[in-house]
Amino acid sequence: MFQGETAITVDDKGRVAIPTAYRDLVARECGNRLVIAYNPFEAGSLYLYPFKEWERVRDQVNALPKTRAAHRSLQLKLVGAAVPVELDGNGRIGIPASHRSAVGIERKAVLLGMGEKFELWSEQAHHAQIQRTLSDEDLSEHMLDLKL
């Protein structure tokens, strides 16, 4: 559903504009509603889920046994810290200050369309991630079979 990389600016009120190419899709498929959660696997980014996709993820995560530390951590990041947001009339969403601060998002950020969700990265974390990816020699057997 979503793909591509867009450099974006965070305004003084902590809002980011969803790229115009996605606004109709977000309105139609998501009812203008997204849910912001921490990326539980990589520092420096947030997940932005369409509301229906978020409900699916929430239910899966909440079904995990809460007695395991790894499950509890996932539940805290994806469910406990989740914030529903709606696009305003200008196609912007507000990113809570606590979320921006926790992942280091300041004025410049990068929005990645990752299929079923967006990822919002701090500019510095995104650049560092790209550098690691470009120099990473740890390819899985599944990756070696891809015809890119």
Could you tell me the pLDDT band of residue 129, with boundaries at 50, 70 and 90? Answer: confident
Q: How far apart are CA 30 and CA 23, in angstroms?
A: 10
At 42-62, the pLDDT tens digits run 889 999 999 999 999 999 999
CATH fold for the domain made of 2-136: Chemotaxis protein chec (3.40.1550)
Note the pLDDT of residue 137: 63
pLDDT, mean over the chain: 91
Q: Quick one: pLDDT at residue 144?
A: 65
Where does the chain have alpha helices with state H?
Answer: 20-30, 51-62, 69-75, 97-103, 123-135, 141-144
Helix 51-62 and helix 20-30, axial crossing angle in degrees, nearest 10: 60
Whole-number Å distance between alpha carbons of 33 and 131? 33
141 pLDDT above the threshold of 80: no
From CA 23, how far away is CA 54, in angstroms rounded? Answer: 18
